[in-house]
Amino acid sequence: MEIFGIYNSDGGIVGEIKYAIGKISNSNHCELCDITHSLIYKKRIWKKFINDFSFSFRLLHLNEQSNHMAKFTDAKTPCVLIENNNEYTMLLNSEELKNCEGNVSKFVEIFKSKLNSI
């Protein structure tokens, strides 16, 4: 089993610049980014959560997904998924991520609750 957080933006220098411009102009937003990052860097509390977590939790940008994953997440990002035997299950959708209000502790609480219910 592997867990993935999918950002609502492309990775790489161009993707990051486009996201920053979109965020400033309010034309692009990613609730998962608000949870995992401060202005530029990953939040210390996020790093601690990932280091203490017992499963693999990978963060991916839109252009870093496999074709199979991209089909599953199409128009559903940002989100958090579980992959088990090449099958995906949505664990947290964009609305649930939005409800975290950028707060890692809220994310962890909701995440663990959802993980325990599957």
Number of domains in the chain: 1
Q: Which domain holds residue 85?
A: 2-116
CATH of the domain at 55: 3.40.30
pTM above 0.85, yes or no: yes
* Mean of pLDDT over the chain: 90
- At 73, the amino acid letter reads T
Could you tell me which residues come within 8 angstroms of residue 11 by beta carbon, excluding any fewer than 6 positions away?
A: 60, 61, 62, 63, 64
What DSSP element (H or E) covers 82? strand 79-84
Question: What is d(CA 118, CA 115) in angstroms, rounded to the nearest whole number?
Answer: 6
Please give the pLDDT value at position 10: 86
Query: pLDDT, tens digit, for every residue of 2-44?
Result: 999 999 988 877 766 666 666 667 767 789 999 999 877 899 9
Please give the pLDDT value at position 11: 83
Nearest to 110 by CA among 40, 41, 30, 32: 32
